[in-house]
């Protein structure tokens, strides 16, 4: 079965150990709703590695990212800003998807 959302493989360990509890996405992936349960897969092969429940989806401008966002990504703010500008160059509107991991697969 296809995942509902995918992550780069390098983020999987942090998700599975509950150190990463948000993901920042663009409009194309802002359609999730609180309470929705999502199958989570690897970006490179779509293999599913866990399930998460969406807690909230909140708009954020890249310039408004904070240390609190970085802590929830298990990164420094400088690392988070670099990752976001690499994945979403030039995007002015992003969305913070907060989640809790339900289980490993």
Ligand X SMILES: CC(=O)Nc1cc[nH]c(=O)n1
Annotated catalytic, 79? no
Residue 69 C-beta: closest distance to ligand X, Å: 11
Instruction: Record the tokens describing residue 70, joined without a space.
Output: 């970085």
- Helix (H) / strand (E) element for 64: namely none
Annotated catalytic, 20? yes
Contact flag: residue 97 with ligand X (CB under 6 A): no
What lies within 8 Å, CB to CB, of 26 at 6+ separation is: 88, 91, 93, 94, 95
Contact flag: residue 95 with ligand X (CB under 6 A): no
Contact residues toward ligand X (CB under 6 A) are: 6-8, 11, 23-25, 43, 87
């Amino acid at each position: 079965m296809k995942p509902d959302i995918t992550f780069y493989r390098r983020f999987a360990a942090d998700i599975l150990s509950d150190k990463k509890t948000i993901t920042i996405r663009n409009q194309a992936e802002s359609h999730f709703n609180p309470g929705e349960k999502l199958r989570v897969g690897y970006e490179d092969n779509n293999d599913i590695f866990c399930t998460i429940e969406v807690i909230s989806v909140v708009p954020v401008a890249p310039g408004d990212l904070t240390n609190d966002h970085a802590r929830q990504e298990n990164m420094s703010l400088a690392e988070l800003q670099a990752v976001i500008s690499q994945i979403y160059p030039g995007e002015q509107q992003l969305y913070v998807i907060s989640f809790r991991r339900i289980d490993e697969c």
